A and B are shown apart, each in its own frame.
Chain A
Amino acid sequence: MTQAARELQAALSLDGDAVTREGNGAPHLVGSACGDCGKRVFPPTDVCPDCMSENMRRLALSRRGTLYSWSVVHAAPRGWTLPFVAGYVDLPEGVRVFAHIVGGDPKALAFDMTVETTISVLGNDDEGRALDGFAFAPVVKEGDA
């Protein structure tokens, strides 16, 4: 693991080893693929939920997916910045990811629109420090993946 990757993981206390950055610095999620049956999973796991194999490999997930549904959330435990948008995003690898949806007016969100992985401040920890984590944002311009 590179120094940059270690620093990223330390900063993203929510996400553990489920987020990394490409060479150009763009964040993407990491899941697992079963080396025996091919099952794909997010977040990463050490045992296959289909065939129980422990031969799991890290799987880099596409940065872009589609928004299945979402809700503007006004009530949540202490720590989360309210309101926030919660959503389910389907990635082309066949995994569904629960994530905060950031970047712009929630009224502009649409079913099955393309969204892209980003890092965002999602709340604060018990000491008041900003809590960063992965999120998805609508793709506003083509070609800026």
Chain B
Amino acid sequence: MRDVAVIGAGMIPFGKFPDRTLDAIAWPAVKHAIEDAGIPKKDIEAAYCGTALGGMMAGQRILKRLGITGLPIVNIENACSSSSSAFREAWIAVGAGVYDAVLVIGVEKLTRFGGGTLPLEKEDWEVAHGLVMPALYAMRARRYMHEYGLTVEQLARVSVKARRHGALNPDAQMRKETTVEEVNAARPVAEPFTLFHCCPSGDGAAAVIVVAADRAARYGVTPVRVAGSELTSGRYVTGFRDMTSPEITVRGAKELYETAGIGPEDVNVAEVHDAFTIAELMYYEALGFCARGEAARLLEDGETSLGGRIPVNPSGGLLAKGHPIGATGVAQIVEIVRQLRGQCGPRQVEGAKVGLTHCTGGGVSGFDHGVCSIHLFSR
């Protein structure tokens, strides 16, 4: 595999745009990424578009707006990991030498469903029996609280931290800080979660330009190297599984660290899949930032806040930046690229050299998660 780099990153501020079409939401992010890279659009040889619920040929609908047509456009669905999966396909294709420069898009418009919990696949057995994502994470949370003594107040602090970071990010959907009291006084969704323990529903788009590393110099921008790429599916389990530790992320992180020759101690900044408060804590442990059962202490000690040892979700994460699901994977990469370039202003992680993005996708019976994609970046 050749070395691969990201040379351009763009996104739109996440929010609710029910009056805009999917392509109208997405094209500004794509244009922003192209301009950021300084790449002529004729140099883009292929495009990968990740969206879970955006409908047929989202990539074609978006790219015709900018006259980027007549090239291979592939649309990729992998639930909340749709665009992180698209990014991995781009990395494979460029790394293998099939293309020298490609575009990756993540996009979603959840307002088309009119709010409420994320629509899941109704043919799935547990979904057909009433499973919704907040309930699944809430059951993980409750068991984790039982086994490790975690409290609802500690859980709420994840949301408080996310909003504190999100307030510094002009692209975040939730920009108002909150308190433990406010989080726990919000309306109940799936106990122990109130609304503020859950990521908001919304719309958004993000895009990056991926090139062979030896081509980056010609565009005159600082390349961010892709230092490792991991994608795996969950293991289907029909019986007992330990819901206090996310099997797929533990396994995926281990594989990635081994192949990349980078360990959790080397990571300076991470964007992880905090769809619900408990998720962020479980991912501290799964990604090796702390030992099992120590996540709440890591948070309370400020280690994962801006200024701490390993800031997690400086963008605000899914809880504050928002989670238009198909857009999330690339949006995480946009944040890490900006962090490694030192472009993040008040939320900059000083001196960050290695960054990690982590994205999962669930909602299928018998899996911890259906998919998990983790990437490492370095400068």
Contact = CB atoms under 8 A, between A and B. Distances in A.
Are A and B genuine complex partners? yes
Interface of A: 14, 39-43, 49, 68-77, 80, 83-84, 86-88, 90, 94-96, 98-100, 111, 122-123, 133
A29 to B, nearest CB: 12
A14 B122 CA distance: 11
Interface stretch (B27-35, B132-140, B216-224, B291-299): B132-140
A72 B132 CA distance: 12
A42 B240 CA distance: 12
Contacts of A84: 130
B122 to A, nearest CB: 9
Contacts of A111: 143, 146
B149 to A, nearest CB: 13
Nearest to A99: B129
Interface in B185-237: 187-193, 236-237
A16 B87 CA distance: 40
B131 A98 contact: yes
B130 A96 contact: no
B187 A41 contact: no
Contacts of A49: 236, 238
B70 interface: no
B138 to A, nearest CB: 4
Contacts of B237: 96
Chain A contact surface mostly: strand
26 contacts: A41-B238, A42-B238, A68-B139, A68-B240, A68-B243, A69-B140, A71-B135, A71-B138, A71-B192, A73-B132, A73-B189, A74-B187, A75-B190, A76-B135, A77-B119, A83-B188, A88-B139, A88-B243, A94-B238, A94-B239, A96-B238, A96-B240, A96-B241, A99-B129, A111-B146, A122-B130
B301 interface: no
With a 10 A CB-CB cut-off, give which of B142, B238, B240 has the most chain A CB atoms. Answer: B238
B301 to A, nearest CB: 28
B300 interface: no
B125 interface: yes
Given A74-B188, A74-B190, A100 B139 contact: no
A86 B243 CA distance: 15
B167 to A, nearest CB: 26
Contacts of A72: 188, 190-191
Contacts of B365: 98
B40 interface: no
Given A90-B240, A96-B238, A96-B240, A73 B135 contact: yes
A109 to B, nearest CB: 10
A90 B239 contact: yes
Interface of B: 116-117, 119, 125-126, 128-132, 134-135, 138-140, 142-143, 146, 187-193, 236-241, 243, 365
A86 B135 contact: yes
A39 B243 contact: no
Nearest to B147: A111
Given A71-B135, A74-B190, A77-B117, 20 more contacts: A14-B128, A14-B129, A39-B238, A40-B238, A69-B146, A71-B139, A72-B188, A73-B130, A74-B189, A74-B191, A76-B130, A77-B116, A90-B240, A94-B240, A96-B240, A98-B125, A98-B129, A98-B365, A111-B143, A133-B129
Nearest to A75: B189
A80 B130 contact: yes
Given A69-B142, A88-B139, A75 B132 contact: yes
A70 B130 CA distance: 13
Contacts of A76: 117, 130, 132, 135
Contacts of B140: 69
A86 B239 contact: no
Contacts of A133: 129
A100 B130 contact: yes
Contacts of A88: 139, 243
A98 B126 contact: yes
Nearest to B120: A77
A100 B129 contact: yes
A14 B123 CA distance: 11
Nearest to B241: A96
Contact of B134 (A39, A73, A98): A73
A87 B131 CA distance: 9
Contacts of B134: 71, 73, 75
Contacts of B146: 69, 111
A107 B241 CA distance: 24
B140 to A, nearest CB: 7
Nearest to B134: A75
A39 B243 CA distance: 21
